[in-house]
Structure 1
Amino acid sequence: MRKRLILALSLVTPMAVAATDPQQEETYGQCVIVPPVPYNPSAQNDAKKNNQRIEISSDYSKTTIGHSATFEGDVALSQADRRITADKAEVDQLMQQLKANGSLVFQDSMVTVTADSMEAQMRSNVATLSGAQYWLHGQQLHGKAQSLQITKNNNLILQNSSFTTCPPDDESWILEARRIRIDSKDEWGEIWDAKLRVGGVPVFYMPYMTIPITDKRKTGFLFPSFSSSTTNGLEVSTPFYWNIAPEYDLTFTPTYMSSRGLFTKTEFRYLAGEDQQGQLNLEYLGSDGMLENSPNRYMIHWQQQGELNKNWRIRSNFTDVSDNNYFNDLKSDVNRATDNQLNRVGDLGYYTDNWDFGVRVQDIKVLGEDEAPYQVMPQLTYNFRAPQFWHGLDFNLYSELTNFEHRGEDWNTADRLHLEPTITLPLQGPAGSLTSELKLLQTNYWQHNIQDDTLKQSVSRTLPQVRVHGQINFERQTSYFDDNYRQTLEPQFQYLYVGYQNQDGIGIYDSADLQQDYIGLFRDRRYSGLDRIADANQLTLGLTTRLFDEHNLEQLKFSLGQIIYFDNSKVNLYSDQLQDDSSTSVLASELDAHLYSDWFISGAIQYDTTNKSTKKSEITLDYRPGANKLVQLSYRYVPDLLNTNTNDRVDISQTGFRTTWPVTDSLYFVGNWYYDLNEKRSVETYTGFQYESCCWAVRLAYHYHIKTNYQDNYNPAINNRELFETGFYLNFVIKGLGGTGPLGVSDMMNDGLFNYRKPLYLRN
């Protein structure tokens, strides 16, 4: 008959970590690690009520009251969420000791341990297990130890131990150590005399190191990365993470480049109260060995955004670099090589339900161009909204006061005051909508330091604007290829009238051409900014049709539209620009479609019906049969673009191929190739393989791409710079030692010059 004994003794103190059900499998990627003995602490209801009570059951027991007790045969000891099973156990009540051995298993909410024997001092709440194997709950970390001690604070101290995050039958890596201390409260481990073996071969020794046992942040070195390229040579990066405080941290990454020198990157992140966050980046390369005169190169970046209180918002962004080619030559944490504009902006705004007020300063630095844009120093804006203010009419007022400055002395500057009251009558219903809008555009300029005789010191411009936009929604049930669909037909029109006034006396401070895609056909402006407001007397006609499947998911969207000009606009961006006497705009069309099964297509075209020529076109064909499975073919054509380096007009005709595919369950391939049909050359080739198991990951990539080269102070002539760059990159991460591994194929898709941009918003 099985016997039970209840003792009012404390074995170990309660754990601070939440209890884990060992019956549940702990899954990490493709790993499944299961504690060896199922145990359900919720069944120990009586023990949970009193942490001091120990329940002991066995097949046989011999007890001397007040002195000792011996238990044999399927012995089970439990206290709160702790449990010990063994073949034999002895309790010495005089010495306050507990000994157990034979098929011994110890479990609590933090760890499961199998051992040869155990000794517990019940006065000090310390237990020592010999010949131990352990599994940390909630982690894939497990290992062995000559002895494992559980302290009164529930910390673990292991002597002559080893651990890994690999499955027991696949120890691809293992860390051996003389001593390991795992802090259950801080959730970090300290290791002394650590030796790392990969595939059984010792590859690394560290006299002291720390590792996380959860995702909690802690100061320490992160995993290094290695690469080699034709312009930078051999690169070795060793990032160091400093967990300064809960609201501050810093990552310092020194990178040695054999061709250039030591490149350091520092990223400081902070929280300013509960609702603000910011980041400061400093990058520096001293005496660049690849450039003439070995100049020093640097990058500074600071950004902050958030709420000051319920109504006030703040945003700031500042970036500066030493030279135009900084992002082309060096891999920055802030901008990509394809970014050639540095936007420096500071915003402070006050927001309420019906009005808002804002202050902005802005300076844009364009890399590779001699002419710099104007600075906004500052701009004050005020917006007022009064919906349904009278008989269904909405009233809005937009106003701004802007001061335009310029770094150059030989540039005119200006102050601009703009008022834009708007009255709108919106009529909406299930069958469609009709919006009528009346605006008055009042702008005043005061221009200073005038360098062009055609400009005027003072300009007052008053323009009326009328806009009527309507849309009708038709739909029907139909079927295609034996599938049922709901098809919509959405014709829309817009009539736009804007008054004319000669604006040649106004300088160009913030205006530029806007794209005439399908959405752009329904804008009420031809140019961005306010320096040029083109007169208009035009009608835009557009048509959109969509197909929705039985699950109401959009499977096709096709749009087609064009502007009909009743009068040609007399206002151009520049006074010497030729007048456009075309009676129509480009014919703009867009298509997104789920063709069949896993095939998708996306495309857009802007066609000049007057000159019978294509102004812009792009098309993308995707095959996406599943997660991380993609084959994409693309083509784009853009004629008559300005080359800022040579001031020549060039055409872009480019085709591309991109794919990602799992070779096995753990091995992925990512590749892309882009070819310039005009120059008859490859502009980018990227090939990458990533292998990722539950305990380690490795990525090997090859990248060949064209380099953007600008003239700058360091290299006035661009013909002495490399036109193409070739690089090999290797990342290796051991999971469980502070690394999380490569992020997966998604970040590999963005490694190249041409980021993967899913062109379709349709879903399977």
Structure 2
Amino acid sequence: MILASLVLLAATQVQGPVEVTARRQQWIAETLWCGIGDVVVKYQDITLRANQLEVDTKTLKLRAEGNVIFDQGPNRLACQRLEFDLNTKTGTFHEVDAFFAPTYHFRGETVEKLDEDHYRFRHGIFTSCALDDHYPPWQITVRDATVQLEGYGHFRGAALWLKRVPIFYTPRLLWPVMRERAAGLLVPRIGYNNRRGAYLGNALFWPLGRSFDTTFYFDLFSKGYVGLGQELRWAPTENAYGEFLVNYFRDPDSKRWEWKLQGKHRQLLPGGWSIKADALDLSNMDFFQRFERTFDPNALRRLPVFLTVTRTVGHQTFNFRLDHEKTFFQPTPNTTSVVVLERQPQVEYRLRPTQLAGSPLYLSAVAEASHFRINRSATLRGKYSRVDLFPQLAVLVPSLPWFSLTPTLGARATYYTATYTRDRQALADQSLLRRYGTAGLTLTGPSFSRIFATKDTKLKHLIEPRLEYVYVSDPGPQERVPLFDERDGVTVSNRLRWTVASRLFAKTANGTRELGSLEVSQDYSFSQPLTTRYSPRQQSQRGPLGLALHVNPSDNLLLDARASYDAITSKLSSLSLGSILRSQKGYVNVTFFSSFDPRTGNTNSSQLQLFLGSTAEGPWRWQSMVAYDLWKKDLLRQEHTVSYRGSCWAVSVQIRDYRIPPHQLRDYRIMLDLTGIGTLFDIRGGLEAFGK
């Protein structure tokens, strides 16, 4: 069907032509044009569609009826009736369903477009949910409201509803309607915790610029707790970001304020430099373990604060590090001791294996200078320095493809400005230079292989022996070396490890992958015995015999089995089994570990861990984890989470049961998140019904 059209040139105040098309048209009066059926009006950034349209060609005032859709930029208003002035781009919409960027919807009696970016709403609902349902998952009903796009909405007579259930009412409400961040109070959070009681929380968000913002938190609990907090976030450049959060809580029992701070910063700098910093500290470990009652604080024993500056140039890496770390120990149920270790600072240089002048020699090295402060006990505390140098030389021996030989040689010297006293209870102001040598030899092969070809697949079976020899000379008495990290401990070694690996590979049109492998290995010491736990007569230079089986028949199935046999009794000393099964809908991960007394074969411990959950796309998600002691027939830990995500809301239910002393935990948590609002409900409570 041929559409009737009308083009109004810029003879009036409008800028540019106004194009109007319709299936049928008629002139009602000299300046009044009427279009019926599939009417479309296009002017600048405005597109209007309707069943029927009347336009005054002199004043350019429009009146549209029937399935009216008004688009201007990213905003859309659908209504039954419209009066609109193209000169001023203002008008009134009746019985409206509207969408405003970025995610807001409005449904109501009338909407008045006051100017380019101001609207007035009357008797309707405001939500970030789609308006397909008469009762969206959440909505704010308003008596009337004035909204500035990319600004704020001023709501009057506002009430928040979940479906048909009213949550709260306020006579006035200020709401940001913008893509950019806006300053203002966030929606209040409400919830319940059986240890802290019911709570009401609110937050004030304040953007400090395009790259910085801060949020202030305030929480009240019915059992006397008070919470204050501030979060600062920054991203000044594309390669730099960080955040810092500090919380204060008033303990009604001790009448004291406890604090917790945590933060991080990451930044890439010109010239290959990078910065990494992390901080976690709190005033009272016991308080936060009781107050937060989460798995992480329950298992938390370290509070690290560190700054690392790194630069990598080719095979060379330069590191600068400052750190402060507290480690908590609980020697008895009612006492806690704290160990504090600090680097003030540490400067390190690393050289990865680098070929020397085209020769078969490859040099690697580690050099480090550090200043430490330690506080291990009332007497074992103080400051000292350490300088460490460890160069190594490897030789790449020309060999056949099925055989390789790599010898290494190194020397290490470490200087300490202080040492332990003879009873190791304090630091003595005496220097110490520790020196020892290292040597190694790696021999791989000769390897044997055979290929089995089928129509679509080639199978390759490879048998590969491997010998690894490690020698570490005696560095002298170690009892006076102050211990700070792994560089201070030295184990004298003169041992050989042999390994025989059998591997199976498959080559198809999709590529090559390993189907499975079986490795058998054992250590042999040329000096001290490796097994001496039974009696002087029962000792052996041979270590445990290890077996490792790895099977990967498909991309969705992985099996792993490991076992260790005692060198003297030839009985099983440990066994572990693991498997991962994946599908398009979910996954299952099972791990079993057991240790045995190699003299009697009796079981010492046996544990089973099960992880399973869903991976399929969809609104429902669930995850479960169970750890069980098979030997003691005791449940150690379980955690189950079920969540559902709707179009504009999400709910999750979590049940946790943590039974490992000293901080057992049995509770539940229910969270409700609303798109555009955030977490509205966070309810936690105890589940003592789990029992022991």
Q: Which TM bucket (shorter chain)? A: 0.7 to 0.9
CA distance in 2, matches of 1:217, 1:126: 26
Pick one of 660, 674, 679 that aligns with 1:734.
674
Aligned to 1:566: 526
CA distance in 2, matches of 1:431, 1:320: 54
CA distance in 1, matches of 2:461, 2:12: 71
Q: Is 1:388 aligned with 2:355?
A: yes
Superposed displacement of residue 208, structure 1: 0.6
Pick one of 603, 624, 627 that aligns with 1:671.
624
Superposed displacement of residue 705, structure 1: 1.8
The alpha-carbon distance between structure 1 residues 606 and 508, as it changes in their structure 2 partners (threshold 3 A), is: farther
Aligned to 1:179: 144
Aligned to 2:687: none
Contact 1:9 1:53 in 2 (8 A): yes
Contact 2:420 2:479 in 1 (8 A): no
Aligned to 2:40: 76
Pick one of 96, 117, 123 that aligns with 2:87.
123
Q: Is 1:305 aligned with 2:272?
A: no
Aligned to 2:110: 147
How many residues are matched?
A: 652
Counterpart secondary structure, 2:87:
coil
Superposed displacement of residue 736, structure 1: 4.4
Superposed displacement of residue 585, structure 1: 3.1
The alpha-carbon distance between structure 1 residues 286 and 587, as it changes in their structure 2 partners (threshold 3 A), is: farther
Q: Deviations over 1:475-522 (max 9, x none)?
A: 554589x986555544433122222232335324135xxxxxxxxxxx
Higher relative contact order (CA 8 A, sep 6+): 1
Report the AA paired with residue 145 of structure 1: G
Aligned to 2:226: 262
Residues 354-369 of structure 1 aligned to structure 2 (within 5 Å): 354-369=315-330
Pick one of 354, 359, 373 that aligns with 1:405.
373
The alpha-carbon distance between structure 1 residues 349 and 113, as it changes in their structure 2 partners (threshold 3 A), is: closer
Q: Deviations over 1:281-318 (max 9, x none)?
A: 223322254xxx46543222233232343243333333
- Of residues 366-375 and 115-124 in structure 1, the stretch that sits farther from structure 2 once superposed is 366-375
Aligned to 1:504: 478
Aligned to 1:619: 577
CA RMSD of aligned residues (A): 4.3
Counterpart secondary structure, 2:289:
helix
Percent of pairs identical after alignment? 16
Contact 1:77 1:83 in 2 (8 A): yes
The alpha-carbon distance between structure 1 residues 486 and 453, as it changes in their structure 2 partners (threshold 3 A), is: closer
CA distance in 1, matches of 2:373, 2:537: 30
Kindly indicate which of the two structures has a greater share of residues assigned to strand: 2
Report the AA paired with residue 630 of structure 1: Y
CA distance in 2, matches of 1:236, 1:479: 70
Aligned to 1:6: 7
CA distance in 2, matches of 1:219, 1:592: 57
The alpha-carbon distance between structure 1 residues 740 and 535, as it changes in their structure 2 partners (threshold 3 A), is: same
Pick one of 438, 453, 456 that aligns with 1:465.
438
Counterpart secondary structure, 2:271:
coil
Superposed displacement of residue 731, structure 1: 0.9
Contact 2:229 2:247 in 1 (8 A): yes
CA distance in 1, matches of 2:189, 2:467: 59
Q: Is 1:634 aligned with 2:597?
A: no
Q: Deviations over 1:419-456 (max 9, x none)?
A: 12222234698656543322121222332573638989
Counterpart secondary structure, 1:310:
helix
Aligned to 1:42: none
Aligned to 2:56: 92
Aligned to 2:492: 534
Aligned to 2:392: 422
Superposed displacement of residue 548, structure 1: 4.4
The alpha-carbon distance between structure 1 residues 3 and 314, as it changes in their structure 2 partners (threshold 3 A), is: closer
Residues 711-730 of structure 1 aligned to structure 2 (within 5 Å): 724-730=664-670
Contact 1:222 1:241 in 2 (8 A): no
Q: TM-score under structure 1 normalisation?
A: 0.73
Report the AA paired with residue 525 of structure 2: Y
CA distance in 2, matches of 1:264, 1:286: 9
Counterpart secondary structure, 1:367:
strand
Superposed displacement of residue 255, structure 1: 4.8
Counterpart secondary structure, 2:356:
strand
Aligned to 1:702: 655
Residues 33-72 of structure 1 aligned to structure 2 (within 5 Å): 52-58=16-22, 59-62=24-27, 67-72=31-36
Q: Is 1:444 aligned with 2:415?
A: yes
The alpha-carbon distance between structure 1 residues 384 and 632, as it changes in their structure 2 partners (threshold 3 A), is: closer
CA distance in 1, matches of 2:572, 2:258: 43
Aligned to 1:524: none
The alpha-carbon distance between structure 1 residues 398 and 596, as it changes in their structure 2 partners (threshold 3 A), is: closer
CA distance in 2, matches of 1:606, 1:180: 73
Contact 1:534 1:569 in 2 (8 A): no
Counterpart secondary structure, 1:325:
helix
Counterpart secondary structure, 1:304:
strand
Q: Is 1:284 aligned with 2:248?
A: yes
Superposed displacement of residue 199, structure 1: 3.1
Superposed displacement of residue 661, structure 1: 5.0
Residues 151-170 of structure 1 aligned to structure 2 (within 5 Å): 152-154=115-117, 156-164=119-127, 165-166=129-130, 168-169=132-133
The alpha-carbon distance between structure 1 residues 128 and 599, as it changes in their structure 2 partners (threshold 3 A), is: same
Pick one of 350, 375, 379 that aligns with 2:342.
375
The alpha-carbon distance between structure 1 residues 333 and 422, as it changes in their structure 2 partners (threshold 3 A), is: same
The alpha-carbon distance between structure 1 residues 389 and 245, as it changes in their structure 2 partners (threshold 3 A), is: same
CA distance in 2, matches of 1:266, 1:558: 55
Contact 1:316 1:345 in 2 (8 A): yes
Report the AA paired with residue 178 of structure 1: R
Residues 745-764 of structure 1 aligned to structure 2 (within 5 Å): none
Contact 1:264 1:284 in 2 (8 A): yes
Aligned to 2:559: 601
Superposed displacement of residue 690, structure 1: 2.5
- Of residues 156-165 and 484-493 in structure 1, the stretch that sits farther from structure 2 once superposed is 484-493
Contact 2:390 2:412 in 1 (8 A): yes
Which consecutive unaligned segments of at least 5 residues does structure 2 have?
331-336, 598-602, 683-692
Pick one of 586, 589, 593 that aligns with 2:544.
586
CA distance in 2, matches of 1:12, 1:397: 79
CA distance in 2, matches of 1:698, 1:10: 57
Contact 1:255 1:263 in 2 (8 A): yes
The alpha-carbon distance between structure 1 residues 106 and 60, as it changes in their structure 2 partners (threshold 3 A), is: same
Contact 1:696 1:741 in 2 (8 A): no
CA distance in 1, matches of 2:92, 2:20: 19
The alpha-carbon distance between structure 1 residues 272 and 598, as it changes in their structure 2 partners (threshold 3 A), is: closer
The alpha-carbon distance between structure 1 residues 488 and 127, as it changes in their structure 2 partners (threshold 3 A), is: farther
Aligned to 2:299: 338
Q: Deviations over 1:237-279 (max 9, x none)?
A: 6565444433223344545555572344543222354433332
- Of residues 555-564 and 234-243 in structure 1, the stretch that sits farther from structure 2 once superposed is 234-243
Which consecutive unaligned segments of at least 5 residues does structure 1 have?
14-50, 512-527, 573-577, 641-649, 710-722, 743-764
